[in-house]
Structures are given as C-alpha cells and as structure tokens.
Amino acid sequence: MGTKITVVGGGSTYTPELVEGFVRRADRLPIDELVLLDTDAERLEVVGGLAQRMLDRLDWVGRLRLTGDRDSALDGADFVLFQLRVGGQAARLVDETLPLRFDVIGQETTGAGGFAKAMRTVPVVLELAELANRRAAPNAWIVDFTNPVGIVTQALIDDGHRAIGLCNVAINLQRHMATLFEVDPDRVQLEHVGLNHLSWERAVFVDGVDRMPEILERHAEMLAEDFRMPVDMIRTIAAIPSYYIRYYYLTRTVLEEQRAGHTRARDVMDIEARLLEMYRDQSLAEKPALLDSRGGAFYSEAAAQLIASLHDGAGDIQVVDIRNDGALPDLPDSAVVEIAARIDRDGAHPLPLAPLAPEQRGLVQAVKAYEELAVAAARTGDRTLAVRALSANPLVGAEVARPLLEAILEADPAHMERFAPV
C-alpha cells in the first residue's frame, strides 16, 4: 500500500530536489499521493508545474496535487515535511544585516538572526503540527527541514509530536569523504556530534575503519580551505568542524567580513529569481544545475532516505536531530541533539557516544541553554525570556540583548505579534 506525503512549503525552489529523491526511491517508498502545500498560489503553480513535468518524464505513477488548503493537504498524510520560510527572503535579509548595528554577527540560523527566525517560525510550525495531529494519519511522522532545525525540532518534540529534524550538513560531508576515498557513500559513516549547525565529525569510518588520522595528516589544508579556517586550528581540534563552527571560532573575522556588506540573502534572492524563471519554461523537465547553488545540496537524498527508512524500517544509520536520550552524556535526555541514529519504522534510535571534548562540551551546553530559552520565548512571547535567550547566546551576550531584541521586534511587527506589550 502506498503513502501520502505532504510538503508544507511546497512552493520552495528546493521542491524539485525532493521530487527527484522520492522517485529514485520508489521501490522503497511507494507514494500514492504527493501534496505540495503553499500559501503563495503563483509560486506553487510554477514549482508544481516543473515537479509534474519531472514526474511525467520519470513515468511516476502516483498523483501530484497542488493546494493552498491546509486541511485537505494534511488529511490522512503519513508524512508531513516542513520546509517553510516565514517572512521569506526579505526577513532573512534583515536577520543578516540588523545585528551588525549592534556589533554582532548576522546569520539566518545562528546568533541574533537565528533567534529572530526562530521567533517567527516556531509558533507557525507548532500550529501546523497541531493541525497535522488532528488530520493526518495515526502515527504520522513530521520531518522538519525548516531552520533553525534544532530549535524547531526541540519545540515539536517538547509538544509531544512524532518529529525528526533533518539537515544536509552531515550528508554533504559524507558524500565529500566518499569522493575523497573513492568509495560508495554507504561505505562511509560519520561520528557526528553536537547540535544543529554546531557540530563536529570526530571520526570518519570507511568500511568500519576510522580514517580521521589520515584525513588530518594528509588533507587538513583542503579542509581548512573548504571551511575557511586556519589549518592549525583544524589540526588542534582533531576533528572536522561544520561550516557553522566558523561563526564561533572566528567571530571577529566573520564580523569584519560581514561589515564589508556582502550578504548571502541577496545571493539567494538572485538565485531564486533565476530558478523560478527557469521553472516557468514548459520544456524544462529536470532540475536545473543552478539549483545546486541554492544551498540545499543532497537535500533530496537526506530527506528521501529518511522518509524511506521510516516507511520500510531499513535500519540504516543516518544523522538526524532527535532527543538525546542518553546518547551524549554531556546533555539532558530531553535535549534535541544532532547525531547518528538507526532509523526504522519506530523512529530514530540514537547511537551511544563518548563524552564531548571539554571545549566542545562548554560551547554545546551554552548554545543548548540558549535554545531552551529561545523555545520558551517563542511559545510565550515573554520579553524577559527573550532577553535571557539572547544574553545566553555566545554570539550575542547580555550587553546588547535588550536593545537588540527591541530592534528585532520593531523590524518585523507582523510576525512578532505575540511580543506586543500588554
């Protein structure tokens, strides 16, 4: 029997990636109905049109449906995937630029920008999840790809939803290591530890053998160039950092770069405009190469593989955002962490891990404390909790937390109504 999958934010330019990933796994994941839900009807028509042409070209036998009706989209869904961006790229641009007025880094998922995005996003996601809880199939899964993934997934799981968070950082590195060692990706397993967008690879197993010592000895310069970090820093931490570690390790350097005026948001706005124009071409029936520049490399692989494994219970190991449940002894069981887990029909089962190194532990615990406060602030609209969250964030601090919060709320009153003074 096939399944129904609903993609919330189906008008995203990422959607063709997702469609391709599902079709590639049709043997493991037979889909009767794929529903793309979006509030932007024009954008949904454009993206959905390309999706349908791709599916027709690949002789897919299921049904694709485009809708703006949340109820019908969620009715009976077996899997609900969140890939929405509340406020669009315009809000992202503010997240990347406003914090600079307070001499702190502007970024869409970490620091002050990530906080603003969380305040806009968590209430919307929780509302949608509650609707899914009422209308979707019994025991339906929510898969969250919406940033900030760690905070959003923490809010979902704290509310009792059957949810797993997903990011493409780990699968990107896994594919990179597979290319480096000239092996199939399924022969590479990472010991991925930390939180979403605050993670390290402590080991890279190829056919069960840890190749990290060789990587650090022979390829540290390549890693330093890829992650824009000093090579001696890579060797000192004796691990492969995610790109986002740069914001924490090289804060002053990044701040100076950002003051030069370049923003990723403007790049993405340009790429999205070009992609949507391509998607309108009725002769286009495959994802364009430009989509790789959008920032979602291997998104389709990660999302489709996770959903396929939840459906067929394959028991393969994937890096996901889930409850800690004792896997990392440095954090409470209830904390959502980003680690490797075995995936089957019952969900993601975390693999046990050794404690974090002291320098990793301190940073992870600090950011987790911030995330806990951020979830509480997003739920309640409590300004005191919001100030405490920003104060606890290692990329912000107490000195600017209050005026920065006021600037964030003033910049986006439409999405920050819960913070309005009583």
Evaluated on CA atoms 313, 315, 321, 322, the torsion sign reads positive
Tell me the residue ranges of DSSP E strands in 28-83.
31-37, 63-67, 79-82
Print the SS3 string covering 349-372.
EECCCCCCCHHHHHHHHHHHHHHH
- What tokens appear for 287 in the block? 């994802």
Cα–Cα dist 286/301, whole Å = 16
* Local structure of 229: helix, strand or coil: coil
Do the beta carbons of residue 83 and residue 147 sit within 8 Å? no
Do the beta carbons of residue 22 and residue 10 sit within 8 Å? no
| DSSP designation for 8 | E
Q: What is the DSSP string of 169-225?
A: HHHHHHHHHHHHHTS-GGGEEEEEEEETTEEEEEEEEETTEE-HHHHHHHSHHHHHH
Cα–Cα dist 311/188, whole Å = 23
Please, which residues bridge with residue 163 across strands? 142
* Local structure of 395: helix, strand or coil: coil
The catalytic residues are 244
- Residue 120: partners with Cβ closer than 8 Å, 6 or more residues away: 86, 87, 91, 412, 415, 416
* Local structure of 322: helix, strand or coil: strand
Cα–Cα dist 119/376, whole Å = 10
Cα–Cα dist 337/344, whole Å = 18
Evaluated on CA atoms 238, 243, 249, 250, the torsion sign reads positive
